[in-house]
Structure 1
Amino acid sequence: MFTAFKDLSSQAKVWVYPSSRKFYPQEIEGLQQKIEEFINTWKLEDEGFLASFSLLYNRFVVFAVEENSEIVNADIDKKVAFVLQLQQEYDIELLDKMNVCFKQGEHVQYKELKEFKKLLKNKSVSAKTVVFDNLIQTKEELENYWEVPITESWYNRFL
């Protein structure tokens, strides 16, 4: 069942899907409706199932499931199938984990890892550049460790 993201506990499980582009303003409302509808039907048979989502920077789709809600492989498969539908419908990439999202001023950039390494080498980005660690696993980590300087992330190995 869908619940407000803010109402989930800090230990709620999260999955972050970075989009290869920002969602256009005219896409946001429809996207949010589709995600909420998916969540409401995701585990309809499980009355105790609580889930939510957040759309951050109009670029990151974050799914969250309350910590005491059971998730099995079939549930993950349903979520991934839904994400694949979103990719097709919006002509975006959401499942590519070989990319880096980082802030450049107030803008969020999305680059392939290979290109990001070149930016580091050319000093177009620095050790202070804020990156998004999309491998975080809980709502607490999302709130405290998702946006960090490169030096505090796993990307620091490329410095």
Structure 2
Amino acid sequence: MPFSPQSRVWVYQSNRRLNDQEARDIQDKLNEFAATWKAHERQLLARAEVRYNFFIILVADENQAPVTGCSIDTSVRLIKEIEQQYGIDLFDRFNIAYKHEGQVIVNSKEDFETLVNIGQVSEDTVVFNNMVQTLEELETKWELPFSESWHAVVFSKK
């Protein structure tokens, strides 16, 4: 069944790259979770994935059943368990992810700002907008050139 473009999306970014085995193990956990994720005893149409060995993406299509506070709490518990098990931080919103020579790199906000100021991050550098909220936004506004993202406003060159 195809997911609605308006399906809700949550993006969690790791502070470090997961190795391939960790990514596979986490993907298995996510598959199991998505297959059993419920809201008020109603099965959610959901999927989850590890992308680029840095991101965990949860998708729930509310056309089948609406996501509730309790179901969101359940997903946050899963993410926290993954954090603990793999020694990663998935809630630090001050880490910025971008692509350099085809590779995803995550830096602190301060280090990213320095890279912008010295020209290592250009107008064309692809950055990740983890604030996307729908599947449509994930597909069209998640990976953007720096110049078209919120990053360009926050990290304007001094």
Q: Report what 1:148 is aligned to.
A: 144
Mapping of 1:71-150 within 5 angstroms?
71-150=67-146
- The answer for unaligned runs of 5 or more in structure 2 is none
CA RMSD of aligned residues (A): 1.5
1:25 aligns with 2:20: yes
From 25, 30, 35, the equivalent of 1:35 is 30
Q: Could you tell me which amino acid in structure 1 is paired with residue 114 of structure 2?
A: K
What TM-score does the superposition give when structure 1 sets the normalisation length? 0.90
Percent sequence identity over matched residues? Answer: 38
Q: Report what 2:6 is aligned to.
A: 11
Runs in 1 of length 4+ with deviation above 6 angstroms? none
Distance 2:130 2:72 in 1: 17
Q: Could you tell me which amino acid in structure 2 is paired with residue 34 of structure 1?
A: K
Distance 1:13 1:41 in 2: 17
Deviation at 1:139, TM superposition (A): 0.8
Distance 1:115 1:59 in 2: 18
- The answer for unaligned runs of 5 or more in structure 1 is none
Deviation at 1:115, TM superposition (A): 1.4
Distance 2:25 2:151 in 1: 34
What TM-score does the superposition give when structure 2 sets the normalisation length? 0.90
- Specify the SS of the correspondent of 1:94: coil
Range 59-68 or range 20-29, more displaced: 20-29
- Specify the SS of the correspondent of 1:38: helix
Distance 1:32 1:129 in 2: 28
Distance 1:152 1:24 in 2: 30
Q: 2:37 touches 2:46 (CA, 8 Å); kept in 1?
A: no
- Specify the SS of the correspondent of 2:17: coil
Mapping of 1:54-73 within 5 angstroms?
54-68=49-63, 69-73=65-69
